[in-house]
A = this chain, B = another copy of it.
């Protein structure tokens, strides 16, 4: 067993979450994604709304305004409070054998020598097709939805890690799921565990 924790960073619509869940299932270990929010609520005492409003998908102009503003009644911004709690939780999860999806886990756990850092991407058209198939159409154009979500993820990542999201130096293996297929990606990752 060479790697104990697998972190999966992914472009929106690349199937990275599905790959992570399949890998965990095959290896018989837990996969942490949305489950992290439930654990955070339980451990930190913050409300679901507070956590979601300060998390990666809420990154927009007012997020920055709030993240960077100084409030004398709050020594830390809500964003920093949630980041600190999430970081602490991921450090704890890093002691288990598990898969962790997103949330800068590759950065948080990089000093764990047995952490395998994965990035999943895919071509734009294939991602668009996957998102429409999985989540349906909305009023917002699919191109905009993909760009918007990737921008939030990359901005959040850069804000807290001082690194570029999707920069090969941050990952041990980068897979194009559109070319290789979900199943093959799962097999390759499992073979490295």
Binding site for B on A (CB under 8 A): 116, 119, 121, 166, 168-169, 171-176, 179-180, 184, 187-188, 191-192
Residues on B with C-beta less than 8 A from A172 are: 175-176, 179-180
Enumerate chain B residues within 8 angstroms of A184, measured Cβ to Cβ: 192
Are B188 and A119 touching (Cβ within 8 A)? no
Chain B residues within an 8 Å CB radius of A119: 168, 174
Q: List the number of copies, as a whole number.
A: 2
- 8 A-B pairs besides A121-B169, A171-B174 with CB distance below 8 A are A119-B168, A119-B174, A121-B168, A172-B179, A173-B173, A174-B175, A184-B192, A188-B188
Task: Please measure, in the bound complex, the distance between the C-alpha atom of A175 and the C-alpha atom of B192, giving whole angstroms.
Answer: 12
Let me know if A168 and B174 touch, CB within 8 A. Answer: yes
Q: Is the CB of B171 within 8 A of A173?
A: no
> How far is A176 from B179 in the complex, measured between Cα atoms in Å?
19
State how many angstroms separate the Cβ of A179 from the closest Cβ of chain B. 4
Residues of B within 8 A of A191 (CB): 187-188
Bound: A116/B179 CA distance, A = 9
Q: How far is the CA of A163 from the CA of B168 in the complex (A)?
A: 15
User: Closest approach, in angstroms, between the C-beta of A75 and any C-beta of chain B?
Assistant: 37
A192 touches B174 (CB 8 A): no
Bound together, the chains give a CA A116 to CA B181 distance in angstroms of: 13
A116 to B172, CA, bound (A): 18
Indicate the member of A121, A173, A191 with the most B CB atoms within 10 Å: A173
A165 CB to nearest chain B CB (Å) = 10
Which of A166, A176, A187, A192 lies at the interface centre, i.e. has the most chain B CB atoms within 10 A of its CB?
A: A176
Query: B173 and A180: CB pair below 8 A?
Result: yes
CB-based nearest B residue for A124: B169
